[in-house]
Amino acid sequence: MNRIFKPLLSLFVVLLVSSPAVGQFITIDWGLHSIGQVTELVNNRGSLHGFAVPEYPGLINAEFPPGSFVEHHAAVAPFYASLSKNKQDTMVTTVRIFEWNSENELSGFSSAPWDTVHEVRRGDTVDIGDPTDPYYPNYVSHADEDFITRYNDYNESSLRSSEHNPMFIDIYQRSWAWASAPMDQFIIFNLDVIPKRKSLYDFWTGIYFNPEVGLVTGNSPIQDDYVTYHPSHNMVIAHDAPGNEGPDPYTPMGLKIMPPPELDNQDLEWTFQWGGTESSRDPGRYEEVSSGEIQSNQTQPLNTQAIISFGMIDSLTVGDTLKWKYATVYGFTEKEVLQKSRLIDQLYPDFAVPSPPPSPEVTVTPSDRQIKLTWGSESEDFVDPNRSDSIDKPFEGYRVYKSTRSASGPWTLLAEYDLAGNEFGLNTGLEREYTDTGLMNNVEYYYAVTAFSKPDTVLGFPSQESSQRGNALEITPGTEPPDDVGQVAVVPNPYRGDIDYNDSSPPWERPDPTRQRWLEQDRRIQFINLPRKSTVKIYTLSGRLVETLRHESDTRGFEDWNLTSKVNQAVASGIYLFTVKNEETGNTQTGKFVIIK
């Protein structure tokens, strides 16, 4: 399975929809929350899974902790269920759920470039939507990473489903993620539901949950999960049973629902069911989600699905807005998940908490076997209105981190600089540069410079630190390209297949960030000391051309080869010849190297 590790990836998928009267393009967009300890996929079809976005290139939907490749769910899909005024028509709107035989009944409004998933970071104030008529004018970031989108169940894309009886609802979604503890292990989703054309009666809403807790590269991670219901938390927790994929179970995931604050939770009915659904039509679906049945906790692990819902809301008239929230909550144990749930209850409904200063802008200067980082002072002027200690500028210091593995860590703290002369931190005094020496040339390293705040001693809230992953930089030290050929060399030479090049620190060979395991195409030979513009040709000993590498860089004097031919076949052991031509001078150098597999 694949995995994407970039802080935010946005993809616009244009779907052509035709009808007898009109043809319309719908923009389908997605993004990845990744500023904290959770990587969570969102999109403008109302779900948290990749099924709704056919071109989503990853298969991990929810990774925790970072870099673990531990998946937690296949689907988190909110649904909406209602009767008509005469109680004769049943309407259930949801996203693509295989067990319900449902299609993507929710989708973005239009093909407009602004009708998408918007990312807003801490300190940003932006207009969300049509620049001439935004639906969130002057939106101020609420958390360290906000995603804002909207969708409905009556656009041309949604109406393609022959079984879909639209409710004609608009849904505005805002999701909030935080960079540092204690907020970095959950994400809050805010859903505003607005009936547009007809009033809705006996209304229920909730979430379909298909957990898949396990190592995504493991053996059948979907077959050994079970769920438990915690009514005092309005939460379902998905667990991984031990034994099927390794000696220990993987980290649990909680799914917590927060009804509107104006509704008395004691007056609401709840439904909790697991084990799959039986209905493929709206009347049966409505009966399932509105049954009020609380099923006993699951004890037998299997490929399970669960439903958690609340109701009944007597009516939602046209123009009303139903505001509810849910949270995806992660932890290393069930106890930790429940602790996070209690924190969410304390912060509900506004979640206005102290925040970290913004990460500084970092300038990188790579050179021979070293990397110099410098940054500005903009983080030091940070003002936080959500503090209780009346400190105007809560900035305290900077931390410098390094990883030899990936932009998700694991991270090593290289340095910490904080304000001198106060009761916080180490009182080292501020610095705004750091030089890391003794590095390997032409190998990737990862660095992050974060800013952190003073703790809020009145509120009892810990110091907040900006995200490492959100500020990670991939940097490669090395010498500048030479003026001409003459010293081009191959490393390693010989290349030996019996050496685990992935096990060094930093690793000489590493999997693509979308994968955990090393594959044949991750092999690496490097041609070093290449002129700025040059062409490398690789031959067998008999003179057959194997591959051509074209190099052009003013700063990098090397080029990698993954030991595959121009027809993407892995090469065999043997002696190989190479030529390097400087395309600016016309001079050529020849050489040879050995591959032993």
CA distance 343 to 341: 5
pLDDT exceeds 70 at position 220: no
pLDDT exceeds 60 at position 520: yes
Q: What is the per-residue pLDDT for 59? A: 64
- Report pLDDT digits (tens) over 571-588: 999 999 999 999 999 999
Q: What pairing do the DSSP bridges indicate for beta strands 186-195 and 169-177?
A: antiparallel
pLDDT higher at 475 or 243: 475
- Report pLDDT digits (tens) over 147-164: 999 999 998 777 776 677
Point out the least confidently predicted range of 212-226, 238-252, 268-282, 489-503.
Answer: 212-226
For residues 505-522, give the mean pLDDT: 86
Share of the chain above pLDDT 90, in %: 74
The CA R_g of the chain, rounded to the nearest whole Å, is 27
Q: What is the per-residue pLDDT for 10? A: 36
Grouping H, G, I as helix, E, B as strand and the rest as coil, residue 335 is helix
Q: Can you tell me which residue has the tokens 């070293």?
A: 370
515 φ/ψ angles, rounded to the nearest 5 degrees: -130, 155
Task: Please name each of the domains of the chain with its CATH number.
Answer: 13-347 (2.70.98), 362-475 (2.60.40.10), 489-596 (2.60.40.4070)
Q: Residue 1, CB half-sphere, CA atoms under 13 Å: how many?
A: 20
CA distance 583 to 591: 18
pLDDT exceeds 80 at position 356: yes
For residues 262-277, give the mean pLDDT: 85
For residues 105-133, give the mean pLDDT: 92
Q: What is the per-residue pLDDT for 98? A: 62
Q: Can you tell me which residue has the tokens 């490929």?
A: 303
**Which residues of 343-502 form beta strands (DSSP E)?**
362-367, 370-375, 395-403, 412-418, 433-437, 445-453, 473-475, 489-491, 495-496
Mean pLDDT of the chain: 90
Q: Can you tell me which residue has the tokens 């995931």?
A: 253
Output the pTM of the full model. 0.88
**What is the rounded (10 degree) CA torsion for 284, 290, 295, 301?**
50
For residues 251-273, give the mean pLDDT: 92
pLDDT exceeds 50 at position 16: no
CA distance 95 to 91: 13
Q: What is the largest CA-CA distance in the chain?
A: 87
- Report pLDDT digits (tens) over 424-450: 999 999 999 999 999 999 999 999 999
